[in-house]
Amino acid sequence: MNKYELAVVVSAKIEDEERAQIIEKCKALVERFGGTITEVDEWGKKRLAYEVQKMKEGFYYFIRFDAESTVPAEIESRVRIMDNVIRYLVVRQDEA
């Protein structure tokens, strides 16, 4: 099992409960493919480095999880098509 981090930037134009549903879907995807969530970090509303889809702000979430090496590709392919997700990235965390 490897350690990974899923970074998700969600649109700031949607309601709180809709944003919570998106994060719950992301967490469910991790668990569906056999991952174990270790931590969910919410950074809140931040200004984007550059304008994306005519938006200047987004809500940042970081979901840390343990999973097999095939899981990140599966998660990215599902998150890619989710509405109101501006950006996403799964990175492997090194054992330092």
Contact 58, 46 (CB under 8 A): yes
Domains (range + CATH), the chain? 2-92 (3.30.70.60)
In the three-class reduction of DSSP (H, G, I as helix; E, B as strand; rest coil), residue 83 is classed as: coil
> Mean pLDDT across the chain, nearest whole number?
92
pLDDT grade for 94, boundaries at 50, 70 and 90: confident
What confidence score (pLDDT) does residue 43 get? 94
- Give the E-state strand segments of 12-76 in sequence order: 36-52, 55-67
pLDDT score of 96 more than 60? no
